[in-house]
Structure 1
Amino acid sequence: NTHSLGGGTGAGMGTLLISKIREEFPDRMMATFSVVPSPKVSDTVVEPYNATLSVHQLVENSDETFCIDNEALYDICMRTLKLNNPSYGDLNHLVSAVMSGVTTCLRFPGQLNSDLRKLAVNMVPFPRLHFFMVGFAPLTSRGAHSFRAVTVPELTQQMFDPKNMMAASDFRNGRYLTCSAIFRGKVSMKEVEDQMRNVQNKNNSYFVEWIPNNVQTALCSIPPRGLKM
């Protein structure tokens, strides 16, 4: 389910739909991509009410919620992609890239986290704590082509950079419970695991110590469209 938590339809109708689906299919995994409103990029007075009331429904009825934030999307478009006047098409391009990346393991065979249930087992320590921040790298604008090969260390560094996060909250104010990194393209698994270990060692204070092996890595040999590894 993909919906916005700011408007009446996405928040009210969207969460009602989720609760009805949950009643009909209680054994199915429910994943949502939820666009959270921001005071900086707001066009409706009642956005905070809609978001607050619908988060409760997501806590109760969703199994995995990927949080996407309009403010972060605008920041990425303007600061990173240097788009002076980003359109909804540009924002949707970023959201579609994230959705494509997250569902890579479901769509291509032989992957870790090959279904939503396995992803939840690796990522959700407590059933109600299923809200994920999503980071994406490399960031490219619509129709742009990448002319430079990107290395695994660069990708890893960008992926954990607050500027590449799709939610405008600084992870340095909290701590990671779990983390899943999905790499695409012709990449060495050993190099990926070494880099992830580096990230964990450098940012040790941002990872909780009471969940061992809380960083999962997955590798898909098929690169994203238009990008080469």
Structure 2
Amino acid sequence: MAINAYGENVATYGTVADTTAAVENKTALGKDDFMKLLLVQLQYQDPTEPMDTEKILTQTSQLAALEASDNTKTALENLTKSLGNAQQFSTIAAIGKTADLGSDAIAHDKGSTSTFEVYFPNDIQQGVVDISDSNGNVIGSIDVGTNPSGVYSFDWDGMTTAGEAAESGIYHVSARYSDSNGNNQTTRLGAYPIESVRFDQGSTYVKVGSSYVPLDSVVEVY
């Protein structure tokens, strides 16, 4: 069912144009307003006591200064917008590089399963993901197996190596593995390759792992 600007059925009431108009801001005076005031002042001045020439020159110079200031403001606003756009699109060059989010921690609730992602920059011959407490003690581990390089998602059921449910709190995630050449490698949660860049309402987001995060969340790109 089609509706008009007033939310009425077009078939019954017909199409009605939306007459809502933007209200002009009258709270600020511009250079045109000052020019009108000067002309009105000259128009209604006393012929027997005309305005002093020096005063007219002063007001004219003030008008010129106001116009110059207005033009400078407009130029700076355009420059700021241009620089913002240039900064946004320069982020595209970061695609393919690694973004560090500055944290390897997860928040775990006792009795629940915590899901997280870890990036392995090299092929995995054999590896293990370690979950450590705030004191650096490894309390749980997940086998990685043999896999090519990439971002992998893991589910930790919260069970420790002692067979107990881990308490609610903050835990740290890292991984140790051997690559296809038998070299020992390490990685951790929080460092991922940048796969793409998205611009949304003036903000920049980068895709790391399976999620888009604000560019402000990235502490280092390498």
Q: Structure 2 length normalisation: TM-score?
A: 0.19
Structure number with higher helix proportion: 1
Larger Rg belongs to: 2
